[in-house]
Amino acid sequence: MIADGADIIDVGGESTRPGAQPISATQEIERVVPIIEALTTRFAIKIAIDTSKPEVMTAALAAGASFINDIRALQVNGALEVAAASSAQICLMHIQGEPHNMQDHPQYNDVVAEVKSFLLKRINICLEAGIKRERLIIDPGFGFGKLLRHNQLLLRNLASFATLGLPILVGLSRKSMIGQLLNLPVEKRLFGSLALALIAAEQGASIIRVHDVRPTVEVLKTWYAVMYD
């Protein structure tokens, strides 16, 4: 991934895909810490820890991670305090429900307004806890308690999230919305993933979380060179 052009490596030890069951903090630490230590020993690249557990955040930061990627936006008891005491960048994501049930019956009156309102509240809580604004990043949480129509509306209106004044991270790679749009299994969703990455970049996303690094980098470099260089 580094050779293919990745700027950040996101390390996670607990699945958060729809239907996933939680694991203990101990299990998670045992999975992620050796990987983070090995990466930081060999490569000069930013490492993100993908977790909601304060114990895992603490262990990962001690091992060399410098970015907290939290699908629960620091809502787990103790997570806000760990993040505030660190110097790490923090990504606050929106989720409705929990991974094991989030896709059962997600409901919104106005998905864009509600996600934006949630993120604004979490931003303000972080600021009140002493976390500087320049450390914060937001993620609308595509696929996390959202139906296809919700995801479409969020991506179509992603540029409106710029009013929150923070960089935007998106994770769309290989997700079920592509499968629903194209009727394709997960291993055949590369081209759909590239299309969504390009749309996200055009809508103002600063960080795009992907599985297929080189194809995505080439698409975005080409787009940027034509439009902005």
- pLDDT tens-digit map of 104-143: 889 999 999 999 999 999 999 999 999 999 999 999 999 9
**Which one of the listed residues 53, 209, 214, 221 is annotated catalytic?**
209
pLDDT at 99: 83
- pLDDT tens-digit map of 67-81: 999 999 999 999 999
DSSP three-state, residue 50: strand
- pLDDT tens-digit map of 144-193: 999 999 999 999 999 999 999 999 999 999 999 999 999 999 999 999 99
User: Is the predicted pLDDT of residue 97 greater than 90, yes or no?
Assistant: no
- pLDDT tens-digit map of 16-68: 888 888 899 999 999 999 999 999 999 999 999 999 999 999 999 999 999 99
**188 belongs to the catalytic site:** no
- Report how far residue 23's alpha carbon sits from residue 155's, in angstroms, rounded to the nearest whole number: 31
* pLDDT tier for residue 98 given thresholds of 50, 70 and 90: confident
**Which one of the listed residues 175, 189, 214, 221 is annotated catalytic?**
175
Average pLDDT, the chain: 96
Sheet bearing 67-70, strands edge to edge = 8-11, 46-50, 67-70, 89-93, 136-139
- pLDDT tens-digit map of 181-190: 999 999 999 9
DSSP-assigned letter for residue 199 = H
- Report how far residue 113's alpha carbon sits from residue 85's, in angstroms, rounded to the nearest whole number: 31
- The pTM is what? 0.95
**116 belongs to the catalytic site:** no
Question: If we measure between CA atoms, which residue out of 170, 177, 163 comes closest to residue 198?
Answer: 170
